[in-house]
Structure 1
Amino acid sequence: MEGELREALTALGLRTAGSFAALDPLEVERRWGSDGLSAWRLACADDARRATLARTDDPRVIVHELASSAPTVEPVLFLVRASLDRLVRTLAADGLAAASLSITLTLDDGRRVTREVRPARPIARVVPLFERCRAALDTWTLEAPVAALELRVSETAPSSAEQGDLLAAAWRDPSAAEAALARLRTTLGAGAVVRPVARDSYAPERAGGWAEVEQAARAVPLDALQATSVKPSPAARLLESPEHIAVVTDKHGVPLQVFWKGRRLALSRAVGPERLSGEWWHAKPFARDYWRCECDELGQDLLIYRDSGGWHLQGWYD
């Protein structure tokens, strides 16, 4: 209600919706006009407005006008889920899947803002699509309350014919896996789901990296895993950045002892040197003599190298 009406009711001692609803509607209208009568009806729980999903002529679009503007995305998420239920049923009936969605919010100040949601592969499942939409909305900073929502299937593709096999223990639903990845991105932020990738470099710290996972990998059949009898090689654990160390060598330059973080580590065996150099076009080219050293005290093989700056520990194998 308007501030003037609220102040008048307070002055009359009417402080609850029930006491306001007990007034005669004719007296309310005579004193405060149509605005007062509308407020009286709301106090009587008489609201002609209803939360409805208005379907347009386009079956791929659902527009919803909120009964009252929402300053947060929680009411919008509720409507997105309900809209996806209808849109996905329509797509499935036509044998189609959603390749791209667009979410358009109409703000109180009249502006319309749109964001696109594109799954890794076309899908016609509510849960993974909703997780993608939620991930987009959770990072959406609202500059004004939301007055209306439009959810549109902007691109479609033929639905996949892949079916599950109850007798295949390794089979999994790719859409379910992508929904789990979307939940992780929503909780941990963008770029939280990554996989290791190899890169073209001889320098160990540049020979690998991380790439964001956009699409869930297909499961490997169990019989294929059982048929693989290759023994895995030890994992290399590289430090965030190589650390300076002191090294005692013999007369031939073979490392015998390593002093690292106040500890003296005796080396039972050292294999090397292996000269690695290159990337002169880089901002930091390298030229190093690498040694792989067995340390019985740690039970691991240390990876050390020597360059113009001295000796460094880069990591270990376990």
Structure 2
Amino acid sequence: MTTAQHASGEDIRSATAARRAVLWVPDWPVAAAVAEDLVDPQVPVAVAGNRGVLVASAAARAAGVRRGMRRRSAQQVCPELVILPVDETRDARAFEPLVQAVETVVAEVEVVRPGMVTFLARGPARHAGSEEALGEALVGVVATETGAECQVGVADGLLTAMLAARAGTVVPSGTTQDFLAGQGIGTLTLAAGTRQTVAATEELVDLLRRLGLRTLGAFAALEPADVAARFGTLGLTCHRLARGLDATPPTARRPEEDVSAATDLDPPAERSDVAAFTARALAEQLAETMMRRGVVCARLRVAARTEDGTELVRTWTIDGAPTAAELTDRVRWQLDGWLSGRSGRPPSAPLTRLELVAQETSPAGVVQDGLWGRARRGEKQAERAALRVQGLLGAEGILVPVLDGGRDPRGTVRLVAWGDEATPLRRTDAPWPGQVPAPWPATVPAEPLPVRLLDVTGADVRVSARGLTSAPPARLLVLAGGRTGSRETRATRAPSPVVGPGEYPLIAWAGPWHGTERWWSEQARRRAYLQVVPDGVPAMLLALERGAWQVEGLYD
């Protein structure tokens, strides 16, 4: 294990990231298959899924097999290649002996995923004498106890420590950004823990590459405000990682109480398949409790007790808002690792009690906004709540506004169903000649309110083709049934503001602004806008179309 050499200089922004160590086993799915005697360690091996080859052994890579290859292409390159299916349970079960070996050197180990563990480095490093000595001790004990080859990295922040582990190095404090600057942008996916987060991060990485941002340094050079405006919450999280910071900014709030779910196993469980039924129900109970209380967690603690009183404990890192299926997977993997007996240290007696504890919980309603945007966990909980309500009301039950380009207040806001692509259909920065002048009304009714605009003689005010009024407006006549819109419209949109029927004298007026849109097509529209201030009701923006006036918006 070597120490990376970088330019000196204090990185003030990285000081907020925790000093972490990561132990990583290269090609773990292949190593897990070898550990379970499924393949000969000397033959080329690859683990493949629906997206082609996911992991290849060193012998397979030497023969030309690469990640992402199709099965047939990989076998053409290496005819003797042994292809195994993806088996996450096997990976987790075989990883348990290695975690137990690490715990002989370091306490409080967190499993990021099968093949990778992490822990805070300062305490263990002081005990070992240095961070380099800690890494050497871990590599030695893993090789002795399990026969696996691993690499250890120490750095500020989780992503930096992961990359340091892949290089088998220590990144000194203050040199984080120099170390990250030349790393490829695709390394952001390493810090994603769940399938959903991995997929979203891969989409973001693909977009960043198409924009010409191919390294972490190039991405980190962007202003956080620009990243928030263009890439949203996920972009902010990845931007923090690219700058060498933790995924979420530190907060000064008091930690919330852990959420737990426990049950007694009667009869005691000696096999993993027996305990898995109880584990699934318990994980679903924990997920339901978290949803009901409106919290998400960052870590899952799995604890079990045997008949003779032995306590078994393991902590898993959870990325984002875990679903019941994700919690179930991790509990099932852990039970299989404990009860399979492959570690050489199976439980001394059958399991009698199982407890799940959601740690580092964050309530959605009180999550503190970070310096560069909303906290990730609160936003995830809001998304989960919205999806739950949408499942009860239907796809159109929850609508979100999207800002579009246009000439009038109604045309610049479009409502889309929650979960649909919320991107503008028209450019908002286009010039838009004939646009209604600012300020625009603060309230736009779901449906326009029909009115009549009268002059002093009681005649309707008209606007000519040249944009001139037939007479100065004097009164506004609000027709009966000011609340408009069909029953379906009222059920899916906010109710329109009500202006009581009657006649209102005008205190002031301005306009008109005349415009014709798409005069060359069948969708041609000719409209005229007028701002009026009636006595006793809010100021309004009126629109004249096809000889009828209507209220387009109300000013505060």
TM-score band w.r.t. shorter chain: 0.3 to 0.5
Instruction: Compare the two structures and name the one with the higher helix fraction.
Output: 2
Structure with the greater alpha carbon radius of gyration: 1
- Relative to total residues, which structure has the larger strand share, 1 or 2? 1
